[in-house]
Amino acid sequence: MTERSMLLALFDDVDPAADAIEKLRTMGIGDEQMTVISGIPVLEKFLGRPSVWTNVPRLALGGAVVGFLAGMFFAYGTPTMYPLNVGGQGLFAGPPAIVVIFELTMLGLLASTFLGVFLDSYFPSYQPKEYVTEVSDGKIAVLFSCPVEMESGISKAMTALGAEAVKPAEAQQL
Amino acid sequence: MEEIKQKWGMVIDQDICTGCQACVAACAMENNISFVGEKSAAYRRGMHWIRVERFWEGQFPEISTGFQPVMCQQCGYAPCEPVCPVYATVHSDVEQVNLQVYNRCIGTRYCANNCPYQVRTFNWFDYERPEPLSNHLNPDVTVRRRGLIEKCTFCIQRIYQYEDVAKSEGREVMDGEVVPACAQACPADAIVFGRLDDPESRVSQLARNERSTQLLGDLGTQPKVIYLKGGSGHVRNG
Amino acid sequence: MSATAKTPILSHEEEYRQHLMLDPRPRGEMNAMVMESMQTTSWKFWVVTGFLALVVLVSLVGIWGYMIAEGLGLAGITRPSYWGIFIVNTVFWIGISHAGTFISAILRVLKAEFRRPFTRAAELMTTFGLAQAGLSIFMHMGRVWLAYWMFPYPNQRDLWPNFHSPLMWDFLAINTYLLASTMYLYLPLIPDVTMARDRSTGWRKVFYRILALGFRGTEGEWIHLRTAMGIFALAIIPVMFSVHTIVAWDFAVAMRPGWSSTIFGPYFVVGALHSGIAAVAMVLVIIRSTMKHMTYFIRPEHFDAIGKLMLVVSMTWAYFFFNDYMVQWYGGDKFTRILLEFHEKGPLGWIWFLMLIFNVAIPWLTLWNKRVRSTPWAMFIIGLLINIGMWFERYIIIPISLTINRMPFTWGEYKPGAEIPLSIGTLAFFILLYMIASRLVPLVPVWEVQEGQHAHSLRRVGKAVAPTVSELE
């Protein structure tokens, strides 16, 4: 196994970054060996990157189902356990049940969406990671691993395509 | 028309009522009602579970006064019941009255707003009973603290007491045996209490009178109090 | 050079450059501006903060504590108005809180780009407004130490709360909305606290590092964040509508003249938007005039857009108000008609008239004019009057309408007592929370501003330029 090193190429705009990624692919760096870090979201299609799978919608739907069931329990389960007649309305009242079920379904949906972000992104994680603060200044960083002997060749290619800097990526405490 | 569930009920004859307010005093004594002081009472914070409303009819000099004692109507379709968030006021299926559970009330006062008869009162403070006033307290009835709602209970402590007595003697409660404090005190015998589901009881017979009416009856609350009015100085037994 | 040498193309372009989206600056510069506005604090700020903290201490801790110990009798509520200013404040603050969701959710879904610089300022209003609403609800409860009984928790006596009650729907809806809007405030905040983390030292860096959760901006993180924000933006809109509708149902399902109005649901939602958007205008004026560099982010164009919204919402409010009024006036029962007359000609009739002047007349007379809409101090005054008008509206609906019921023997006027210092306390607390947040939280979502600026450009079309927006999201 050849030794690999992690490099980080910093770009100012989407166009040079997209060109650079394509160049990296022609030089033999696979998509899984690359990560793009940016200060604003850039859609994968603009960078020519494969789209990333996200579990958030499915988790959201699951949470909505859990919320729905909780709503059903509050509306129909609790009067079964604690039956009290009020106002001549009957034990199980339809319109109040609709309100309760709606609110809890939405709560389930939104809470699980929020938690889904945490789960999918492995938040919170305070380990040292590869990062440069220029990213939050709006730059696009292409983080990739390449065989050590290709390092200088790739660096030159990146710089030729407009990289502001190409440096070794060190995991640092964020 | 749906069948109306009823058990305990009351008939109040407004044509006989003299407005003496003995019922108000008796209820206050029986149910440990707090004294709020003159200033608070003027600001409508009196705690009375029964009030005697006074109406003037006619133009001077042909004015007549009408008196209307109003207490909790123990509605079958009580608007106060479904709105309590903690089930502090619920319907008793056994006694067919509206129950107020003091221990459970958290004081949102939604029930008081929703009562069309405005019969619910709220404990605005912990009202004091300086000695020896506390000696009058009825041990059969809770003393309420601040922050909760209370209202007429049809003297449910007396209902339970006489039901217990009747049960221990192996019989049914007799008509006229259970007398709430207001009915007991009324010198004109304008308040009659008993079983509305027994067609032979005194209260049922009076309820069938042609003068019978209900307060805000068109709201559909199914009150258990029937008012007799429309005669002028009509003597009931004459 | 003659006067006609200036070509029309240039002056149009200049005019367009007045717009934030068409006047981009490097992200690093914008970051520095936001950080500086957060960290530059004058002595005047501390004076105001200290004063507000004192008011909050005296009012919310002192007076409220005393009221809990002594009883609600210290307030002015009594028969027949068992609900008074505390509930007015609750509805008022929930109304204010709707503005945040409107701006960050509805405007995002509708792709109204002018929302970008102030979504966070609006969302903070939602969270802090809901906090005041919660306090006001607790203030109104007779036995507030038992408030937890409204929470459905399993217990050995199998006691559950009553879900038939509109107050329980309130409990569920307001808590859902509070949690949802706090989550929706936090998600877009993550990239900004990342930026703040990168540019801070000392305790601030620790604070932002914790909040940033280790965010870097990788493709995965952005996809998860953006998907979540998309779901939130869509889902929180029905929640927002349901919350104030349910609050409206506290009144509408009751058997009171003037309250049993079927239109209360949407009427309250529109009323919430009315006062909320006006409050956003007020807050933006203050932010713009007191914080450094905010004149770059918040511009007359934003007040212009908000002003148009305020005018449309005012017209919608007038429509719903008249709907409610006309139906009760024409076909209402005896007590409803007596109530309407009491509103207009009773001892507090001046409140009713001022409500209509502030909510309808003033917006309609002023907000059609672009110059007025683009003038911050004018928008502040109009916003303030609208908020006063909407507070009056709730005062009319609650204590004044409760005065008239179907038992005339019980009628009586409501005179507030301890409610007044406690209301001032909630207002002071709201402003205090906001001022503290302005020191800790980047008020402008810079990444969203940059995102928008990337998507906007000026395109030459024929003889002129036109702003273009690309769909980069």
ipTM computed for the complex: 0.94
What count of Cα atoms within 13 Å lies in the side-chain half-sphere of residue A119?
14
Same domain? For A60 and A45 the reply is no
In a domain, B1, yes or no: no
pLDDT at C212: 93
User: Which residue range forms the structural domain that includes residue C260?
Assistant: 12-469
Asked, for residue B3, whether it belongs to a domain, the answer is no
Q: What is the pLDDT of residues C360-388, one digit of tens each?
A: 999 999 999 999 999 999 999 999 999 99
Calpha distance B231→B14 (Å, rounded): 9
CA–CA min distance A172, chain C (Å): 11
Q: Whole-angstrom Cα distance, residue A39 to residue A138? A: 5
Residues 132-171 of A with CB under 8 A from C: 133, 135-138
Q: What is the mean pLDDT of chain B?
A: 92
By CA distance, what is A88's nearest residue in B?
B77
CATH of the domain at A38: 3.30.70.120
Looking at the structure of chain B, the number of domains it has is 1
Q: How far is CA C74 from CA B41, B113, C71, in A?
A: 14, 19, 7
Same domain, A65 and A9: no
> Does residue B237 sit within a domain?
no
CB contacts of A85 in chain B (<8 Å) are 81, 90-91, 93
Task: Using alpha carbons, list the distances in angstroms from residue A31 to A49, A132, A161, C157.
Answer: 7, 21, 19, 60
Residue C74 inside a domain? The answer is: yes
Same domain for A91 and A39 = no
Query: Which domain, by its residues, includes A65?
Result: 56-120
CB contacts, 8 Å: A106 with chain C: 176, 180, 235, 238-239, 242
Helices C119-140 and C85-101 meet at what angle, rounded to 10?
A: 160
Instruction: Label the pairing between strands B149-150 and A129-130.
Output: unpaired
Whole-angstrom Cα distance, residue A101 to residue A89?
A: 18
CA dist B117 and A123 (Å) reads 57
- Beta strands A4-11 and A165-168: pairing type? antiparallel
Calculate mean pLDDT across residues C199-207.
Answer: 93
Residue A133 lies in a domain: yes
Question: Is C25 part of a structural domain of the chain?
Answer: yes
- Same domain? A37 vs A66: no
Per-residue pLDDT tens over the stretch B107-165: 999 999 999 999 999 999 999 888 888 898 999 999 999 999 999 999 999 999 999 99
Q: What is the rounded average pLDDT of the residues A60-86?
A: 94
List pLDDT tens digits, range A145-165: 988 888 888 888 889 988 888
Tell me whether residue B175 is in a domain: yes
Arithmetic mean of pLDDT, C421-439: 97
Could you tell me the residue range of the domain that residue B142 belongs to?
8-228
Q: Check if C362 contacts B (Cβ < 8 Å).
A: no
Measured between CA atoms, the residue of chain C closest to residue A84 is C162
Q: Is A173 among the domain residues?
A: no
- Tell if the CB–CB gap between B93 and A85 is shorter than 8 Å: yes
Entry field: residues in chain B: 238
> Is C221's Cβ below 8 Å from some Cβ in A?
yes
Of B84, B86, B113, the CB nearest to C402: B113
Q: Is the dihedral of CA C227, C232, C233, C234 positive or negative?
A: positive
Q: Which residues contact C161 (CB under 8 A, 6 or more apart)?
A: A78, B85, B86, B87, C149, C150, C151, C152, C168, C171
Say what the pLDDT of residue C158 is: 86
Structure token pair of residue C249: 């149902």
Are B99 and A85 a contacting pair, CB within 8 Å? no
CB contact under 8 A, C78 and B112: no
Based on the domain organization, do A20 and A40 belong to the same domain?
yes
Q: Looking at residue B238, what is its pLDDT?
A: 32
Rg (chain B; Cα; Å):
18
* Of residues A111, A101, A94, the one with CA closest to residue A74: A101
Query: Which residues in chain C touch residue A125, judged by CB atoms under 8 angstroms apart?
Result: 213-214
CATH number, residue C158 = 1.20.1630.10
On chain C, the residues whose CB falls within 8 A of the CB of B112 are 79, 82
Q: Does any CB of chain B come closer than 8 Å to the CB of residue A85?
A: yes
Instruction: Indicate which CATH number applies to the domain containing B127.
Output: 3.30.70.20
Residue of C nearest to A37 (CA): C218
Same domain, A96 and A114: yes
**Number of structural domains in chain A:** 2
User: Are A78 and A108 part of one and the same domain?
Assistant: yes
Number of domains in chain C: 1
C232 touches chain A (CB under 8 A): yes
Supply the DSSP string of C2-58, one letter for each residue: -GGGS-HHHHHHHHHHTSGGGS---HHHHHHHHHHHHH---HHHHHHHHHHHHHHII
Question: Does the residue A35 lie in any domain?
Answer: yes
pTM for the whole thing?
A: 0.94
Structure tokens at C309: 């919204």
Give how far A89 is from chain B: nearest CA, Å.
8
In a domain, B215, yes or no: yes
